[in-house]
Amino acid sequence: MKKFYLFTVLFLFAFFANAQIKVQGVPRNDIQGTSSNQLNTTVTTNISFSDIQYWVGSGTNEAAFVVQWNDSKNPDALVWGFRWNGNATGEDMMKAIAKADHRFFTLLYPGTQFGTAIGGMGFDLNGQNSNALYKSGNITYPYYPVNGIVNTAAYDFDDYTAADAADHWGSGWYNSYWSYWVKDPADAAFGYSGVGATSRVLQNGSYDVWNFNAGMESFPISSTLTPVSPYVASTNFANGYFMVNEEWFGHTNGSVNFIDSNGQINYRVYSNANNNQAFGATTQYGTIYGDKFYFISKQAADGGDTQYTPGGRLVVANAQTMQKIAGFNNIGGGDGRSFVGVNENKGYIGASNGIFVFDIANMQVGSLITGTGGGGQYAGQIGNMVRSSKYVFAVKQSAGILVIDPATDTVVSTIPGAFHSIVQAKDGSIWAIQDQKVVNINTTTFVTTPYNIPTTKYLGSWGAWNAGSFTASSKQNVLYWNNSVNSFVSGAQIVKFDVTTKAFNESFVTIPGQTGTYKQIPYGAGLRMNPITDELILNTTESGYGAHYQKNWIHTFDATGALINTKTLNDYYWFPAVAVFPDNTLPTVSNTFPSQVNVNSASVIDLKTIVSDEDNLSSAIVKTIKSNSNPAAVSAVINENDELVLTPIASGNADIKIAFNSNGKVVEKTLTVNSTVSVLATAEVKKIEFSIYPNPVTDILTIKTQEKILNVSVYDTSGKVVNTQLNNGQINVSMLPNGVYILKAVTDKAVYQQKLIKK
């Protein structure tokens, strides 16, 4: 507690000796009203509602709620406030506080003939969020509170202990019990309640005091009562990283924890922000794009979860606040696998039955991308996907790597092979991994170059699909992954591959915890790179079965491979799936990018080197032309080399607006182009006459000019070259999709650029 207050009020307790006691309304012949049970104790203290710091509920009526554990842990006697309108009971007050304050948890037996019996109460004293109970010493299957409550169906309260021995916890019925003291405004002093919390009717100005009689020994009401500071759920998700969890299948739906920059582990931050909502069953993947967090689960809901409301195969949340935006049970008929943002208005959902377009602007699941489906749920499922500046590369089991043009949502190439995962390196190169090879994919021609991993293998992830450990640094031109004994058994090393030198280090890091019978092993994706700090984040669990999976660690290694931090999660079947890092910064355009240029011939500005992003790959930034104020004066296209090509068509000025999209965060720059084209004599105009026909064209396009054509290219609207085949002054465009294109021809006299319409 932040602060201690001394309250003084007259507590006058008087009761006839040897009278029968009722515990929460239940007659107890085993407890007699003697001086040994505090019934004739007098305490002098004073209480002021103005000193209560944490009020739960709303309304004009107010009551105080006090819990005293008598366990020698400080602070002991804690005070909350409760507000309401209408009618409310002591049970209503307790449940409202348990739901609101995630530090307070209870053990209840509802539905008895005397109402709900209060069997146990606890409080997270050390801030570890480990609010769990063991029954009869069974640590394999803990009980976790829902809305602060663990329910039981018997007076078996003595069998429960707290998972965290450092917390406040008291429970019992036969060997210990909670005594209940109440006071209403008309009462001169506190009195022992003969009824339980269900029958206790609150009044404005009431007090309820729960005092634990451990071992049936009585304790006086404490003279020192501590106001509880307000519970504040973590709402700052900028500094730290997330760990997306599969969760315990058959018991809880997926969740996400947040490890902040101070090292504090904040558990189930999405559920805390959304009134105990969760994701779907077996949440395997998460990614941030723009200001949204996309969580992908294999199934829509875990039927065994009675604690959290399921959210579906796809859940979209605000990445800054974790507030839910949308949830989808159906993502095209299959189970969830992955997600990649394509542009600020569109993403792709990877599923067990193909890739589906997702409308980010309108939050709608769209249609299947032709050519991405087929192969069966466990033979043709989609794996990881990466967005380069021009294409989306998606792994499809058995088929290989699908290369998709995001401008048209079409598969333009398939790279065959048995691949596990894919990443983009710092230099922009694309790399995929197989059992014992890393494979470079040319981003323009899609030609592959394999490099054999000398001795170890990559840990496969298709069987029970996960995102895999293949990861890339955004600060160094290197790749990392976890090794394996074979495709199903993990090894104990992190492998490093230098993209520039093509050198392997197969023992870069040894995974901690490799002594003893049960060893630490990676789980889920297992490994990811922090884009800001360039640190490796490794999550591990304990080998073996059953309760071993409750043991989970998160290790941090620096760029040299040195272990710099280890976090131990609270014991639970989290089954951590993948680490995800916040995206806090916008792309930055260099001051070298001009605001104005003069062109009198085709000019090129290299866009690759003028934009960067602190927490994302600069090489993956997507550049597009958003608008051209005067296309009659200047043609502007971005080619496959991320070059802005400006071609003067007529004299005049044009404002060219260029968008730079880095992982969904967009900045725009406007370039003013002053086009100067010489006025030619009539005879000279005829001499260099250039035209194309027919336009619009269906199949064969003819170019008419008296000049010698050196080369010709047809660009789509994204600046990608789609045709360069000139035959006797003609181009066959019949294979192109219908739409608008730019034809660029270079002759021995000039450069020409004209709009072309394919129909």
Q: How confident is residue 46, by pLDDT bands cut at 50, 70 and 90?
A: low
Q: Domains of the chain (ranges plus CATH)?
A: 5-227 (no CATH), 455-584 (no CATH), 586-678 (2.60.40.1080), 680-759 (2.60.40.10)
pLDDT band at 525 (very low <50, low <70, confident <90, very high): very high
Nearest residue to 37 via CA among 11, 68, 14: 14
DSSP-derived 3-state class of residue 461: coil
Q: What is the arithmetic mean of pLDDT over 445-462?
A: 93
According to DSSP, the residues that pair with 547 across neighbouring strands are none
Nearest CA to 190 out of 180, 199, 198, 200 is that of 180
pLDDT for the residue 639: 84
Q: Encoding tokens for residue 631?
A: 């296309």
pLDDT category at 47 given cuts 50, 70, 90 is: low
Q: Can you tell me the mean pLDDT for 326-354?
A: 96
Average per-residue pLDDT for the chain: 89
pLDDT value at 71 more than 80: yes
Say yes or no to pLDDT of 11 above 70. no
With bands split at pLDDT 50, 70 and 90, how would you rate the model's confidence at 649? confident
Residue 479 above 80 pLDDT? Answer: yes
Q: What pLDDT is attached to residue 167?
A: 94
**SS3 readout for 605-667:** EECCCCEECCCCCHHHCEEEEEEECCCCCEEEEECCCCEEEEEECCCEEEEEEEEEEECCEEE
Q: pLDDT-derived band of residue 302, with 50, 70 and 90 as boundaries?
A: very high
The pLDDT of residue 147 is above 90: no
pLDDT over 70 percentage in the chain: 93
C-alpha 4/C-alpha 211 separation (Å) is: 19
Please list, residue by residue across 376-415, b when 16 or more beta carbons sit within 10 angstroms of its beta carbon and e when fewer do.
eeeebbbbbbbbbbbbbbbbbbbbbbbbbbbbebebeeeb
**H/E stretch holding 270:** helix 269-273
- SS3 assignment, position 182: strand
Among 224-228, 578-582, 653-657, which is the least confidently predicted range? 224-228
Q: Which of 93-107, 429-443, 675-689 has the lowest mean pLDDT?
A: 675-689
> In this predicted model, what pLDDT tens digit does every residue of 165-216 receive, in sequence order?
999 999 999 999 999 999 999 988 888 898 999 999 999 999 999 999 999 9
Percent of the chain with pLDDT strictly greater than 90: 64
User: Shortest CA distance to 448 belongs to which of 437, 459, 464, 462?
Assistant: 437
37 has a pLDDT exceeding 70: no
The band of 20, judged by pLDDT with boundaries at 50, 70 and 90, is low
Place 43 in a pLDDT band, splitting at 50, 70 and 90: very low
In terms of DSSP bridges, do strands 354-359 and 346-351 run parallel, antiparallel, or are they unpaired? Answer: antiparallel
pTM (two decimals) = 0.76
Q: Residue 57: which pLDDT band, with cuts at 50, 70 and 90?
A: very high
Mean pLDDT of 366-392: 90
Q: CB burial class (10 A; 0-12, 13-18, 19+) of residue 262?
A: exposed
Residue 3 in this model has a pLDDT that exceeds 70: no
Residue 13 is predicted with a pLDDT of: 34
**pLDDT computed for residue 32 by the predictor:** 64
Q: How confident is the model at residue 143 (pLDDT cuts 50, 70, 90)?
A: confident
Average pLDDT over residues 605-623: 90
Q: Which residue has the higher pLDDT, 750 or 271?
A: 271
Running DSSP on this structure, what letter comes out for residue 91?
H
Q: Is the model's pLDDT at 35 over the cut of 70?
A: no
**Per residue in 653-698, pLDDT tens?**
999 999 999 999 999 999 999 998 754 444 443 444 678 888 888 8
- pLDDT at residue 145, rounded to an integer: 87
Q: Look at strands 224-227 and 78-84 and give their pairing.
A: parallel
CB 713 within 8 A of CB 724: yes
